[in-house]
Structure 1
Amino acid sequence: MEEKTEYYTTTTTTTTGPVVTSTTSYVTESRDSYDEKEVVLEDQNLDHVSDINRHVVTDEYDENGNLVNFVMSPVEKKLVFKLDFIYVMPYVCILNFLQFFDKSALNYAGVLGIKKTANLSPSQFSWLGSIFYLGYLLFQGPSMILIQKLPLSKYIGSVIVIWGLVLLLTFLGHNFAQLAALRFLLGFFEAGIYPCCIMLISSLYRRSEQAERIGLVYICNGVAMAVGGLIGYGIGHMHGVAGLESWQWIMIILGAITIIFGVFSFFFMVDNPKAKVLRLTPEEEEVVERRMRDNAVIKNRIIKTAHIYESLKEPRFYAICLCGMLINFQNGALGIFSAMITQGFGFSDLNAILLTIPSGVTDCIYIAVAVWYNRRYGNTLYTGVVLLLIAILGLILLVVIPVPKAKLLGLYLTWAFAASFVMLLVAIANNVAGYTKKVFYSSSLMVFYTLGNFAGPFMMSASAPPLYVGGMIGYMVANAVTVLLFLYIRWSMVRENRKRMANPSTQEVLPDMTDVENKNFIYRV
């Protein structure tokens, strides 16, 4: 007789004091060709899942959504090690290093002769920074659909190759119109990368693990800033090689490396928890099932409009999107103007590039400390608030203190905003369930991220260099408003947690339920 094996799950929730216990039962049904059923309900050792027919997994959460008394099994530790050091995170780190470095190439080109070569005015240079995000914005809608419809490896690999080619061809731009068109295309094809990374991490890691991995994505931005300063300094000495300017060599070298990496991504990227390249053992396959229950992300190629409508009815959704825009006013500006701000303190062109290195280092430090604290204590949104207050202090130093060294300190303190944005991404990854809903949240945040980055450089160009006082004050106000929004978002989720803990649900948890549909879901704040 032909035998088929099917897996079913049910989840129940009970409340004991301040703790919610979520019990998930995994039941295997053996079915022969005559459709006879036998359900075996004998509990067995979880370390021998290849032999089991049923087991019960119990997870406990407090009102802040943190797992209580969770101990990772040896099998799961081995699986996480493979994801972290072999198959997933090394790839994600390289991807984000290249993505940030490529879009920031204009920052180095700005002091290496591109303005003279293309005869750019200050406002035109600002437009080159902003028009990247116009392309970024326009591709978010199509990207949201492609992320859900296509295998991530094929989608990401293709767009990396295309944007690498666009970057390489930028060396041919000799006027504003040509450079603007190329920058627009660069932003257009880079647009889907961050949502893809969030979806990848959300589907492969437990919620409690995601802060560190998403933080690592943005640490790579800081590393790109720091290493980019060294690379930019080195390439800055290539002026005249093969008759090209040093800024042209930046575009050629980075573009070629990106194309090679895109080809690798297309064929070898791990893009789902059960990818064949992972070579999962039966024990690891069962662990993957449990981890997928925790992160509540199940790949679904059907776009569920109900998930989108649910998002649009949530005040939290609009608060998160507005935060994404306000935080990134300064990101768009500092990503393009940091070398020129430093140059305005009295440093030479190449030394101004070198002094962008500490910005990258401090960016990494902020994110590393934030994700370490979040992993140990939780408090995702409170951590974001503290980081924004540090960024406000840095902006005050930039405006008020006339001493160049103090201004440099202010510039480095300001980069704390990047770690607060990481905390916002962690809040989405941890607290939005349902595949379409998570894609919609992530892509919508990127739309507002793009608007912030687009507007940020104009806030700088409308102010007088080198202080750019008007822009700095605008960023202070944006950060202060974001602090209030962070506190509101946290309050709304804690309030819902308390309601669910006071009235526990016994509903069956079905695949791909949203955080609203699943009354057993506890938000992690």
Structure 2
Amino acid sequence: MTEKIEKKSDEFSSKDCKIEYIEKNDVESLKANAPTAPFVYSNEEKKVKRKIDRSFLPLVIAILFTQFIDKTSINTAAVMGLLEDTHITHDQFGIIGGIFYFGYLAFQIPNNYLVHRVQISKYMGLILVVWGVSFGCTSLATNFGVLAALRVILGFWEAVTYPCIFLLIAMFYRRHEQVFYISYMFLANAVATAFGGLIAFGIANMDGLNGISAWKYAYLIWGAITVSLGILTFFFLPDQPKSKWFRLTPEEEKIVDQRRLDNGTSTNTDFNINQIYEGLKDPRYYCFCALSFLCNLQNGSITVFSSQIIQEIGFTNLQAILLNIPNGASGAILISISFLLSKRFQELNFIGMGMTLVSLAGVLILGLVPSGAAKLIGIYLAYACTPIYILTQTNISNNVKGNSKKVFYTSSQLVFYCLGNFVGPTIMTSNQAPRYMGAMLGYAAANIICFVLFGYVRWSLVRSNRNRVHNTSCDTAGQSENSKDVVDDRTDVEDLTFIYRP
């Protein structure tokens, strides 16, 4: 029989140091499973949030838009004459697509060291300038070796962007807001796919102008844009919670302090090895790493090979470039659906499970449909691997607390992000074209495993919340009271008032 506890008062009793409920089991279930009530903003906080958005978002979206075009220009360049000018084969092209992530991976350790010791705006600005120059130099590549080396160097510099922006989002926004802003990051990628395809179509018509191939024009133009963006970032990117670019009043600075209590950021950026040990003991850490690797197997192949897959269906080079535009539109729709559902139901992992099914449908269509325009549907649905990655990173932002622990989780999943994006294109071998059956079945298996991992993560978070409600005591009440005045560096395990978001 369910244990009944008579409710004597709605107030916390300081005499017996207990919180009493009508029905203990029901309340535990409610706390662990029910969506949290929608947060109600004061008019003053709405104004603060608008100030942050106006100063932070436009520049960040421009950076991400440009980065994604830079990173995926190899995709459209393949149908603009790159393969012929550099004399590389289909399989070498797969290596070129994935080797970018060797550089991306190699710079993670120095980047994680530097990002806590230098001013992010100056750091990112300088890196963007160097990256723009490196990107422009790709137009000089004449063979596989030079192109591969330049792709590694490009990955080296682009490795800075995501970790820095993840940390800035965690610094500026409340936990329930972060899923939207991380989604905005990847919406910028989807928009870059769409508009980048349109721009690439225009550049493709420059082929032969002044004796220069169209793909070389693409690298020169976007390299110059990236350098210009680096200069703007150096001077104008906000990188502190009370940045001068927000133009906060003293009263608004107090609201920023309250927001930081919610997002769990700490003024203490000292490295804490104990937080790393705590993370290594957490099964969810390994789930996040696995999710990042598995969903990016397919992401790496689609972003590198989509133009060639479309071309192999029977479309011309220019048509293949144009048909990447609805690919970006599909990505924007899937990302929007995922974060709107997350907002509506206050859920992360159930939404992640749903997106794995959409992604699974996409790769099965690509593998099982022999030929024809119907395969385009597969490419567009396969973009659901991006919401899977967004929800993985949002899980970390929402459910990991402690500066060193959060950085460790984020940097670890980025390592597996790199590995997945490297391995994915290399298994799209020429002897499998045009259906790439082996690769598509591998991606299908990866989606099924992601479905199971999201389910486990949600179950684990709900169980942790139940245990916390069950163990509510005077100690946790004291913790909550003290934490109102201090932004501490306790982890989610140490802070017993921290409630996970499943």
- Please, what TM-score do these two structures have when normalized by structure 1? 0.87
Contact 2:32–2:463 (8 Å) recurs in 1: no
The residue type paired with residue 514 of structure 1 is T
- TM-fit CA distance, 1:69: 5.4
Q: In structure 2, which of residues 108, 117, 135 is the aligned counterpart of residue 140 of structure 1?
A: 108
Match of 2:306 in 1: 338
Counterpart for residue 269 of structure 2? 301
Shift of 1:372: 1.0
5+ residue gaps, structure 2: 1-16, 25-29
- Residue 523 (1) aligns with residue 500 (2): yes
Whether the aligned pair in 1 keeps the contact of 2:194 and 2:328 (CA below 8 Å) is: yes
Counterparts in 2 of 1:314-353, with a 5 A limit?
314-353=282-321
Query: C-alpha distance in 1, partners of 2:23/2:233?
Result: 45
CA distance in 2, matches of 1:283, 1:331: 45
Equivalent in the alignment of 2:375: 407
- How far does the alpha carbon of each residue in 1:55-113 deviate from its partner, in whole angstroms, 9 at most, with x for none? xxxxxx942585435311000001111222x1111122111111111000100110001
The answer to whether structure 1 residue 70 and structure 2 residue 39 are counterparts is yes
Q: Distance in 2 between matches of 1:170 and 1:407?
A: 32
Amino acid at match of 1:518: D
**Which sits farther off after the overlay, 412-421 or 326-335?**
412-421
The answer (yes or no) to whether the contact 1:15–1:502 under 8 Å persists in 2 is: no
Aligned residue pairs: how many? 472
Considering fraction of residues, name the structure with more strand: 1
SS of residue in 1 equivalent to 2:268: coil
Question: How do 1:436-451 and structure 2 match up within 5 A?
Answer: 436-451=404-419
Structure 1 counterpart SS, 2:128: helix
Shift of 1:488: 0.9
- Check the 8 A contact 1:212/1:371 in 2, yes or no: yes
Aligned to 1:160: 128
Note closer, same or farther for the CA distance 1:13–1:375 as it changes in structure 2 (3 Å cut): farther
Name 1:360's counterpart in structure 2. Answer: 328
Deviation (angstroms), 1:405: 2.4
Q: How does 1:42-53 map to 2 (within 5 A)?
A: none
Q: Tell whether the 8 Å contact from 1:65 to 1:523 is kept in structure 2 after alignment.
A: no
Aligned partner of 2:411: which letter?
S
1:179-214 C-alpha deviation (Å, 9 max, x unpaired): 111000000111121111111111101111111111
Unaligned 5+ runs, structure 1: 1-11, 20-60
Percent identical residues: 42
SS in 2 for 1:405: coil
Q: In the TM superposition, what are the counterparts of 1:88-103 in structure 2 within 5 Å? A: 88-103=56-71
Which piece of structure 1 moves more, 395-404 or 245-254? 395-404
Contact 2:36/2:346 (<8 A) preserved:
no
Matches within 5 A, 1:108-127: 108-127=76-95
Structure 2 counterpart of 1:225, one-letter code: T
Q: Supply the distance in 1 between the matched residues of 2:284 and 2:22 (Cα, whole angstroms).
A: 27
Given that 1:64 and 1:522 are in contact with CA atoms closer than 8 Å, whether structure 2 keeps it comes out as: no
Once the two structures are TM-superposed, the CA of residue 462 in structure 1 deviates from its matched residue by 6.0
Cα distance, 1:440 vs structure 2: 1.2
CA positional deviation for 1:285:
1.0
Per the alignment, residue 195 of structure 1 pairs with 163
Q: Hey, what does 1:47 align to over in structure 2?
A: none
Residue 242 (structure 1) shift: 2.7
Query: Does residue 1:81 correspond to 2:50, yes or no?
Result: yes
RMSD value, Cα? 1.8
* Aligned mate of 1:391, from 359, 381, 388: 359
- Distance in 2, matches of 1:323 and 1:250, equals 33
Rounded to whole Å, the distance in 2 between the matches of 1:62 and 1:266 is 45
The 3 A distance-change label for structure 1 pair 15 and 160 is farther
> Structure 1 pair 227/298, CA: closer, same or farther in 2 (3 Å)?
same
1:267 aligned residue: 235
Q: Specify the code of the residue in structure 1 equivalent to 2:363.
A: L
Deviation at 1:376, TM superposition (A): 1.9
Give 1:15 deviation, angstroms.
Answer: 7.5
Q: What letter corresponds to residue 491 of structure 2 in structure 1?
A: T
For 1:337 and 1:490, the matched residues in 2 are separated by 33
TM-score (norm 2): 0.91
Q: CA deviation at 1:298?
A: 2.0
- In 2, distance between residues paired with 1:178 and 1:17? 71
Would the alpha carbon gap of residues 157 and 264 (structure 1) be closer, same or farther in structure 2, given more than 3 Å must change? same
